[in-house]
Amino acid sequence: MLSKTLRSKIDSLWDKFWSGGIANPLTAMEQISYLLFMRRLDAVDRKRQEDAAWLGQKYTSIFEGHEDYRWSHFRHLSGEEMLPHVRDKVFPFLKTIKNGGQVFTLSMQDAIFIIPKPTLLVEAVGIIDEIYDEIERERQEEGQTFHDTQGDLYEHLLAEISSAGKNGQFRTPRHIIQMICHLVNPRLGDEVCDPACGTSGFLLGAFQHILTQHTTPENRHLDENGLERGELGDMLTDERQWQVLRERTFHGYDFDTTMVRIGLMNLLLHGIDHPRINYRDTLSKKFDEQDCYDVVLANPPFKGSIDKGDINEDLKLQTTKTELLFVNRIINLLRIGGRAGVIVPDGVLFGSSKAHQDLRRMLLDNCELQGVVSMPSGVFKPYAGVSTAVLVFVKGGKTEHVWFYDMQADGYSLDDKRAKVEANDIPDVIRRWKARSPKKDTDRTAKAFCVPVEEIRGNKYDLSINRYKETQYEEVQYEPPKVILAKLKALETEIQRDLAELEGMLG
């Protein structure tokens, strides 16, 4: 978790952008990402130069012939010099970098630098330098890991994006992502994909879940949500394992170029050097991937619809509703035996249209639908108040029972403030999931229970928990009416006596 000093500096950076005329958090986040990339590029290039010199190897700097484009150069310029230099020289240069495998550069082709004032740029550059100086100080004095602190600062920045995009996409809370990663359990060697990746939160969650699996017990800790976490990955002793994890494991797509850049920077700052995040609409005819991934994790847009003529022919559902088409896409993306965890609005669970029923039939008959976790409606506030559920399934196999969990609390208040509270079902969800059994989980008044697939089929494939959950009513024993009437008369007599006494005192 970030120190108070770092949080204060990040909040100050937001305030500068707000007062400097960039009030849209998503726009500010994108511009901050460009500055972070400029600083990171300079640092990475210097490190590679030093490593090459140490090994006696030749290295051609990314900045050869353009040394004045380095962050370490322009950070000393005055505001009146810095703004045109960065806007007209450094920023266009970022789009031309070829060597060094700069994945962020590939997403920059339509990017625009819109920081309007010299003072804002100078202040932003200064605060970013202060933030990195503080990260380095904490690393040396307090043993903090650089990548984790750097990644946490970006997550803290992302937390300011508190409004949903025009297509219904929004950032999934980290603790919900952690829960889903525990349910799906991505492992080292799996190829993991998010077909609507946004800020790359699910890919990052999968990375951290795998790191925890490969961190020795003494280096793990319980986080603020009661979930075990380890950042070191100190059991990964073979460099080839790190290479697989950082370069070949994580794949993401988004149809919003701004989100692609933000998602890329999120992974880069967490130490994933070669994330494969691309600008692509995974529902359109231009997308042609199938049977590619071992794990798919997603919270696809709920409100969107797509032009009927542009829907990929591989998607068999007769609908334009993106929340249905995305689940169809996820099934197609998985290899046989591949696992998925996907968030859907409640309507997907019980909708009566043919497309809704066809999708649920697909999940139960063509996949092994393992679990449905019903989440409370405030989980995605302040973005949206819609009720949602998590579907966990395996492509192929056979559904025999579906495990349901009625989640009432997630550790935060279910209003727009989302303040920390004690009530939290997430550790219980994970504990019960690992111990689930159709023979034992038969009490339908409990939080978790299993339902045979034949019963679900008989209910038109309805997957809403309320269809199967039984409510236990406690019988209340009331006193006989004559006893109640006698008590009321006694109370009336007492009131009359008190009134008479009061009247006497006033007399």
The 10s digit of each residue's pLDDT in 190-206 is 999 999 998 899 999 99
> In this structure, what DSSP letter does residue 440 have?
T
Cβ 200 vs Cβ 305: under 8 Å: no
Other CB atoms within 10 Å distance of the CB of residue 433: 19
| pLDDT 10s digits, 438-496 | 999 999 999 999 999 999 999 999 999 999 998 766 667 778 888 888 888 888 888 88
The pLDDT value given to residue 60: 85
Residues of the chain with pLDDT under 70: 1, 99-102, 143-148, 161-170, 303-305, 382-385, 472-475, 507
Other Cβ atoms less than 10 A from the Cβ of 435: the count is: 10
Give the CATH class of 4-158. Answer: mainly alpha
Domain range annotation of the chain: 4-158, 174-467
Task: State the CATH class of domain 174-467.
Answer: alpha beta
CA angle 27/29/31 to nearest 5° reads: 70
- What is the 3 state secondary structure string of 116-182? CCHHHHHHHHHHHHHHHHHHHHHHHHHCCCHHHHHHHHHHHHHCCCCCCCCCCCCCCCHHHHHHHHH
Report which DSSP code applies to 308: G
